[in-house]
C-alpha cells in the first residue's frame, strides 16, 4: 500500500528522527516518542496574523489515500476491554462578541461528487450538519465541538478537521500535525463550528502539539495503527475552548459493531465551507483501523467518528456510554474510483502495545494545561 496526496498535494519528505526513550508502562525502549512542539509566547498573535482572509479562503485539503480497492472485510478479532471518558456541555453562556467573519470570496470546488454507495458495499447517508439558514444549532452542545483546522506544511497552507476532546484540547489526525518522518508542521489555527465564512466562536491559536509514536516514525504511510494527534489551544480571556463549546467524550478499544457519525469539512462536498455528517457503521479494517462507507474525502481528515452523536429525545432507550463518544479520527480513503470508504485508527489506551498512543497524548495534553 502506498501513500498519495490528492489535489496536487506534495509533502516534503525528511529523514531524521528525534529519539526519546521511555521506561515503565508508557513505552518500550524501542519506541521513538515524539518530542512534542510547543508554541512561543507570541505564537497566538503570529498565527492569527498569518491567517489572512486570503490564506483562509485558499487553504487546500489534505488527504491520505491507500492505493487500490479496499481489502475484504476483516474480522474484529480480540481487543482489550474498552474504556470510556465522558465529555461535558459548555460552562459559559454563548458570547456573540466572539463571532467573526473569515473571508468573503467563495472557495473553489475540488472534485466531482461521488456516488452515494461505492464498490465497497458499505451503506451510508450524508447531510449538512447545519441547515443553510440563520440558526443557532452550532451554538448548542454538541454541535460546536468540531471545526476546521488550518495549518502550514512546507508545500503550502492546508485544511483538516478536528474535534474538542478535553477542555482545552482538540483531537485530529497525525498527518495534520507532522509528516510521519520526524518533522512537525506549524501555524495551527482552529475555527470551531465554522459554517460558510462565519466563525461564531472566533479563531483559536495553539500552545502545544504532538502525535503518536506510530505516526511520528511511521514513514507517513497509511493505514497506520495510530494516525492520531492532539493540539492544546491557547486560552481566550483566561477560558479554555471547552468552556465555550463543551467537549466530546472518547473511548479506547471500541468494540464492533458500532454505528457512528463521521463529521468533518470535506472539500469535495460544499467546498469545505460547511461541516458534513455521514451516518454509517464501523467495520474492522487493517492495522487497527475502523472503515466505513462515506462520501467525505479531502479536508475531512482528522474529523471525529462519534457514537450516539447529538441530543437524545425524551423516551429513547439509554444511549451507549451516554452519547457523544469519539472512537476514531478520519485518517485515509482509497484511491480507486467509486470505493467510497474511509478509515480511521482505533484509539489505544496509554502505553498499549508498548507504544506512545492516543491515550498518552491525552495525558500529555493534560500536563500542558489542556484538561
Residue 22 domain-assigned? no
Which residues face 304 on adjacent strands? Answer: 329
Cβ count within 10 A of residue 78: 5
Q: How far, in Å, are 128, 147, 149, 354 from residue 266 at the CA level?
A: 11, 12, 12, 34
Is 232 inside any structural domain?
Answer: yes
Per-residue pLDDT of the chain in tens (371 residues, 90 and over written 9): 333 333 333 333 223 333 333 323 345 446 889 999 999 887 888 999 999 999 999 999 987 888 776 666 555 556 688 888 888 889 898 888 888 888 776 766 655 555 555 677 676 656 567 655 566 777 789 999 999 999 999 999 999 999 999 999 999 999 999 999 999 999 999 999 999 889 999 999 999 999 999 999 999 999 999 999 999 999 999 999 999 999 999 999 998 888 899 999 999 998 898 999 999 999 999 999 999 999 999 999 999 999 989 887 766 666 667 789 999 999 999 878 788 999 999 999 999 999 999 999 999 999 999 99
Phi, psi at residue 340, to the nearest 5°? 55, 60
In a domain, residue 21? The reply is: no
Task: Note down the domain range covering 166.
Answer: 3-10+34-367
Closest by Cα among 221, 284, 227 to 256: 284
Residue 28 placed within a domain: no
Q: Whose grid coordinates read 466531482?
A: 112
Q: Per DSSP, which regions of 167-205 are E strands?
A: 169-172, 186-192, 198-199
Within-domain flag for 257: yes
What is this structure's pTM? 0.80
Domain for residue 15, yes or no? no
Q: Please give the Cα distance from 147 to 124 (Å, whole number).
A: 22
Does residue 235 fall inside a structural domain?
yes
* Local structure of 311: helix, strand or coil: coil
How many distinct structural domains can be found in the chain?
1
Do the domain assignments include residue 20?
Answer: no
Amino acid at each position: 500500500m502506498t501513500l498519495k496526496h490528492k489535489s496536487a498535494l506534495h509533502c516534503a519528505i525528511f529523514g531524521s528522527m528525534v529519539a526519546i526513550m521511555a521506561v515503565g508502562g508508557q513505552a518500550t525502549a524501542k519506541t521513538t516518542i515524539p518530542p512534542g512542539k510547543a508554541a512561543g509566547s507570541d505564537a497566538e498573535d503570529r498565527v492569527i496574523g498569518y491567517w489572512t482572509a486570503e490564506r483562509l479562503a485558499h487553504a487546500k485539503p489534505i488527504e491520505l489515500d491507500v492505493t487500490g480497492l479496499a481489502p475484504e472485510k476483516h474480522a474484529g478479532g480480540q481487543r482489550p476491554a474498552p474504556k470510556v471518558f465522558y465529555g461535558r456541555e459548555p460552562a459559559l453562556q454563548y458570547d456573540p462578541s466572539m463571532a467573526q467573519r473569515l473571508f468573503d470570496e467563495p472557495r473553489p470546488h475540488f472534485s466531482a461528487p461521488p456516488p452515494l454507495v461505492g464498490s465497497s458495499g458499505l451503506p451510508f447517508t450524508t447531510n449538512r450538519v447545519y441547515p443553510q439558514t440563520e440558526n443557532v444549532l452550532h451554538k448548542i452542545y454538541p454541535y460546536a465541538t468540531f471545526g476546521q483546522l488550518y495549518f502550514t506544511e512546507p508545500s503550502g497552507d492546508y485544511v483538516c478537521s478536528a474535534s474538542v476532546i478535553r477542555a482545552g484540547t482538540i483531537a485530529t489526525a497525525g498527518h495534520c500535525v507532522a509528516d510521519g518522518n520526524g518533522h512537525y508542521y506549524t501555524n495551527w489555527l482552529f475555527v470551531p463550528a465554522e459554517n460558510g465564512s462565519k466563525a461564531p466562536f472566533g479563531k483559536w491559536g495553539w500552545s502545544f502539539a504532538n502525535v503518536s509514536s506510530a505516526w511520528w516514525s511511521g514513514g507517513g504511510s497509511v493505514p497506520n495503527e495510530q494516525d492520531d494527534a492532539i493540539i492544546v489551544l491557547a486560552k481566550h480571556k483566561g477560558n479554555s475552548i471547552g468552556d465555550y463549546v463543551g467537549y466530546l467524550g472518547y473511548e479506547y478499544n471500541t468494540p464492533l459493531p458500532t454505528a457512528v457519525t463521521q463529521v468533518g469539512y470535506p472539500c469535495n462536498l460544499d467546498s469545505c465551507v460547511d461541516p458534513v455528517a455521514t451516518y454509517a457503521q464501523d467495520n474492522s479494517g487493517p492495522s487497527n483501523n475502523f472503515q466505513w462507507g462515506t462520501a467525505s474525502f479531502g479536508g475531512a481528515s482528522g474529523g471525529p467518528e462519534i457514537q450516539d452523536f447529538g441530543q437524545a429525545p425524551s423516551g429513547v432507550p439509554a444511549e451507549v456510554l451516554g452519547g457523544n463518544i469519539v472512537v476514531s479520527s478520519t485518517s485515509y480513503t482509497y484511491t480507486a474510483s467509486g470505493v467510497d470508504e474511509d478509515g480511521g485508527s482505533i484509539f489505544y489506551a496509554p502505553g498499549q502495545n508498548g507504544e506512545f498512543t492516543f491515550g498518552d497524548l491525552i495525558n500529555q495534553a493534560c500536563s500542558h494545561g489542556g484538561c
